[in-house]
Amino acid sequence: MSDSMSSLLPVVCFDAVGTLIHPVEPVADTYARAGRRHGFELSLEIVSRRFREAFEWEERRDRQGDLRTDEEREKARWRTIIGHVFHDQPDPLAPFEELWNHYARPEAWTCYPDAVRFLDWLRTTGGRYAIASNFDRRLQGIVRGLPPLADAWQVVISSEVGWRKPARKFFELLADRMGCRSAEMVYIGDSYENDFQPASALGMQAFLLNRGSSPSAPPFLASLDELSERLKMMGKCRHEGEALRSHAHDPSC
């Protein structure tokens, strides 16, 4: 793609977990193993169910509040979740440090193959991308340690900017950080409530990723493999739009 074309590509922002990365092994396996080290014997089914329950409670609690956050709140979130998973064990928070440190390691995470392919393509265009995530500062080290993501232009993290998605403020700060108007940004995430709805509301071109669904029309993506074609089309439209505008302003017309 030519330089003039790549400059017409929009700025691309991604949600992190569920969009670009996922834990290498199922969360229940990691939690159950950490629990066993402290003599806790819980089935994977119980660990999995309790994790989902507590994760959802914490999400709801933030949405019922003002969505402000910081490092302390994010660490408290994981204390509550881990405390619930092991709530009937002698010392429910005994595995906390191990689990916190485990998910700080880049080796605990991996990129989805379609994310790697898309970012490889984006690099050939010279296009820039950002990661915008509800996470804590551990994500900075994870991104730096995962080669496919290490060249992310910006990593915008809720605990660092002080607001969680879906807060409008988070998306406004993201646009500020990218140095562009929200209408010039493309945002891709796997959550309707946390990603698609608030990004769209601010005027970003948002896509909702639902891997494995049958390919469908925008704003849905069944895979990030579809995204390069969508961006090429958007770049082409912008290119043609600018050509039309410059033609209209040509005094010789």
The Cα 34–Cα 32 span in angstroms is 5
Residue whose CB is less far from Mg ion, 18 or 83? 18
For residue 18, state whether it binds Mg ion (rule: CB under 5 A). Answer: yes
Give me the least distance between CB of 88 and Mg ion, in Å please: 30
Distance of CA 49 to the CA centre of its chain: 23
Helix 113-125 and helix 225-248: axis angle, to 10°?
30
Quick check: 185 and 205 in contact, CB under 8 A? yes
Residue whose CB is less far from Mg ion, 1 or 17? 17
Part in contact with Mg ion (CB under 5 A); list of ranges 36-44, 100-108, 169-177, 189-197:
189-197
- Report the residue from 15, 58, 62, 226 that binds Mg ion according to the rule CB under 5 A: 15
Quick check: 170 and 191 in contact, CB under 8 A? no
Residue whose CB is less far from Mg ion, 15 or 74? 15
By three-state DSSP, how is residue 105 classified? coil
For residue 17, state whether it binds Mg ion (rule: CB under 5 A). Answer: yes
For residue 190, state whether it binds Mg ion (rule: CB under 5 A). Answer: yes
For the chain, what is the total number of helices (H) and then of strands (E)?
Answer: 11, 8
The Cα 190–Cα 65 span in angstroms is 22
For residue 62, state whether it binds Mg ion (rule: CB under 5 A). Answer: no
Give me the least distance between CB of 55 and Mg ion, in Å please: 12
Give me the least distance between CB of 184 and Mg ion, in Å please: 23
Structure tokens at 100: 């916190």
Give me the least distance between CB of 63 and Mg ion, in Å please: 15
Which of these, 165, 164, 174, 166, lies nearest to 131 by C-alpha position? 174
Residue nearest to Mg ion (CB): 18
Part in contact with Mg ion (CB under 5 A); list of ranges 3-11, 16-24, 55-63, 140-148:
16-24
Residue ranges that bind Mg ion, judged by CB under 5 A: 15, 17-18, 190
